[in-house]
Amino acid sequence: MNTLESTQQQEEVFTMPRIGDKAPEFTATTTQGEINFPSDYKGEWSILFSHPADFTPVCTSEFMTFAHLEDKFKKANCNLVGLSIDGLYSHIAWLRTIKDKIKFNGMEKVEVKFPLIEDISMNVAKKYGMIQPGESKTQAVRAVFFVDPEGIVRALIYYPLSLGRNFDELYRALIAMQTSDKFNVATPADWNPGDDVIVSPAGSCGVAEERMTGTEDLECQDWFFCTKKLDKDLVLNTILKK
């Protein structure tokens, strides 16, 4: 066996976390000090997201947008945590440049206050499957992990290096998952607070018959497809912090 083969066999192999898995734990240095993830955020939601590199334009637009929306996510009981495989001093210099020089989409003098992880070793990126060799062996793709208050991965989204994220969708997904948890419902395509929600399919012939004969406060297209109204104010007052 040659040296290259030996090295490849010794490399640690990580499986990408799946929905329902415990979020892989790590301790890391960030622009806001050391963090222990996800334990530091127990009892709250978190979005852990990666970007390819500091001082790149798409990443700059994303960080400005996340920073602009941080209070909105905080009000929805959600913390933001960023990551790239650049070093801490590069992170600090880049965030200072964003605040001092960059204007984007009507935003300027934007201060990024949420932690940005230093991951030169790529240990965290590998644990979360953020390094995808078909796209890049030296940069993290644009991964997004939604982690719930119990430290469970609830959703994940991956974008290629060239594609900036849709932040309205990230927020919508967060609110939708919290709505499902709070009200024991599912949310249909393009759902937003105030839209009808979906109730679980009937589990017996009797329940199916009741639904189709209108004995419940539901609108049923068929026994398996029933919706009900869920007041927007009720949803937001239940989820959002005052």
| Structural domain containing residue 27 | 15-164
| 107 inside domain | yes
Residues 146 and 211 in one domain: no
Overall number of domains in the chain? 2
- CATH classification at residue 157: 3.40.30.10
Residues 101 and 46 in one domain: yes
Contact 225, 59 (CB under 8 A): no
The closest alpha carbon to 161, from 50, 83, 17, 16, belongs to 50
Active site residues: 59
Residues 160 and 56 in one domain: yes
* C-alpha–C-alpha distance, residues 139 and 125, integer Å: 9
Query: What would the two tokens of residue 182 be?
Result: 């709070």
- CATH classification at residue 190: 3.30.1020.10
Residues 157 and 93 in one domain: yes
3-state SS, one letter per residue, for 71-112: HHHHHCCEEEEEEECCCHHHHHHHHHHHHHHCEECCEECCCC
Residue 177: partners with Cβ closer than 8 Å, 6 or more residues away: 146, 148, 154, 155
Residues 34 and 119 in one domain: yes
Residues 80 and 199 in one domain: no
Residues 144 and 203 in one domain: no
Residue after which a domain boundary falls, among 105, 129, 164 = 164
Residues 54 and 124 in one domain: yes
The closest alpha carbon to 85, from 115, 55, 114, 122, belongs to 122
The closest alpha carbon to 230, from 173, 172, 191, belongs to 191
The answer to the question of whether 142 is labelled as a binding residue is yes
* C-alpha–C-alpha distance, residues 19 and 132, integer Å: 19
In order along its 242 residues, the chain shows pLDDT tens digits of 454 444 444 445 457 899 999 999 999 999 999 999 999 999 999 999 999 899 999 999 999 999 999 999 999 999 999 998 899 999 999 999 999 999 999 999 999 999 999 999 989 999 998 877 777 765 777 899 999 999 999 999 999 888 999 999 999 999 999 999 999 999 999 999 999 999 876 555 555 566 666 656 888 888 788 899 999 999 999 999 87
